[in-house]
Chain A
């Protein structure tokens, strides 16, 4: 009986870890990152890109995917530190989360009309209403 309980507990504990890979990602916990990065788009969870990629992105905010996202050197430092310390893994050379192969796979059956309504692939919350809490289930 004890073995069965342990097994059940182990299974229950394992579920969020497995499902968590894509459906739940820890949301940004730093107030500066949440405010500054979340001003124009979702403050993307750190786990979605590698430290190397985060450093590249946050190192050139005046040319941020075609936009001027200039911030003070002090803020940039805070944001860079947060993202590199909490980063995950991603494909080298691909700066956009929406270029990563897992992202393309997850969105392959999403029709064009949904992307058009969302206006941009950066607008996660248009479909994933819990995105700011790290919830990305369909």
Chain B
């Protein structure tokens, strides 16, 4: 009887592990961006899903009309598939909950940030923007 709160706590912790533990590749990727962000700004204190959401939804009037925000192609709801504004091709969901493969390859992640940050945001994304963006989508 005395043990019950303890065993309940253990069971709860075990249940929580799959939900909390990210993919090891994604964790390593975020750690890389965190190290870069720290080098860029010594005051860096971790990534923020809220800031990442802003990166995702903010409209950039100076970009081409059909690609003025990440959400323009990836959709307002990142748990749903998006659609390329240019070719009409379906894009798999950005949210990790709906598409667990997201942000697990540094090569792919850098390729897409490289192309899309310049075209949509008009500049190369900083490590802070990249980490915030991934943190937002990993929380969705």
Interface residues of A (CB under 8 A from B): 40-42, 66-72, 118-120, 122-123, 125-126
Which residues of chain B (63-104) have a CB below 8 Å from chain A?
A: 83-84, 86-89
How would you classify the secondary structure of chain A's contact residues: helix, strand, loop or mixed? loop
CB nearest to A35 among chain B residues = B108
Q: Assess whether B118 is in contact with A40, with CB atoms less than 8 Å apart.
A: no
Whether the pair A67, B119 counts as a contact (CB closer than 8 A) is yes
With A70-B115, A119-B87, A123-B87 given, name 4 new contacts (CB 8 A).
A71-B111, A119-B88, A120-B88, A122-B86
> Would you call A126 and B88 a contact (CB within 8 A)?
yes
Q: How many A-B residue pairs have CB under 8 A?
A: 38
Q: B114 near A: Cβ within 8 Å?
A: yes
Are A120 and B118 in contact, with the CB atoms below 8 A?
Answer: no
A41 to B88, CA, bound (A): 8
Task: Give complex CA distance A102, B2 in Å.
Answer: 81
Contact with A along B104-136 (1 / 0, CB 8 A): 000100010011001100000000000000000
| Residue of A40, A66, A68, A71 touching B89 (CB-CB under 8 A) | A40
Q: How far is the CA of A134 from the CA of B1 in the complex (A)?
A: 66
A116 vs chain B, min Cβ distance (A): 10
Query: CA A42 – CA B111 in complex, angstroms?
Result: 19
Q: Are B118 and A122 in contact (CB under 8 A)?
A: no
Identify the B interface with A (CB < 8 A).
83-84, 86-89, 107, 111, 114-115, 118-119
Expressed in whole angstroms, the minimum distance between the Cβ of A56 and any Cβ of chain B is 19
- Chain B: minimal CB distance from A124 (Å): 10
Minimal beta-carbon separation of A67 from chain B (angstroms):
6
User: Separation in Å of the B85 CB from the closest CB of chain A?
Assistant: 8
**Is A41 touching B111 in the complex (CB atoms < 8 A)?**
no
Report yes or no: A119 in contact with B83, Cβ–Cβ below 8 A. Answer: yes
Residues of B within 8 A of A122 (CB): 86-89
A23 vs chain B, min Cβ distance (A): 22
Give A63 Cβ to nearest chain B Cβ, in Å.
12
Instruction: Tell me the complex Cα distance, A69–B116, Å.
Output: 9
Residue pair B114, A67 in contact (C-beta under 8 Å): no
Name the residue on A nearest B85 (C-beta). A119
**What 5 A-B pairs come out closest when comparing CB atoms?**
A119-B88, A123-B88, A122-B87, A41-B87, A68-B115
Q: Name the residue on A nearest B88 (C-beta).
A: A119
Chain A hits for B114, CB < 8 A: 70
- Cross-chain contact of A68 among B87, B88, B118 (Cβ < 8 A): B118
Q: Which among B87, B107, B111, B119 is the interface contact of A120 at CB below 8 angstroms?
A: B87
Taking CB atoms, residues of chain B closer than 8 Å to A70 are 111, 114-115
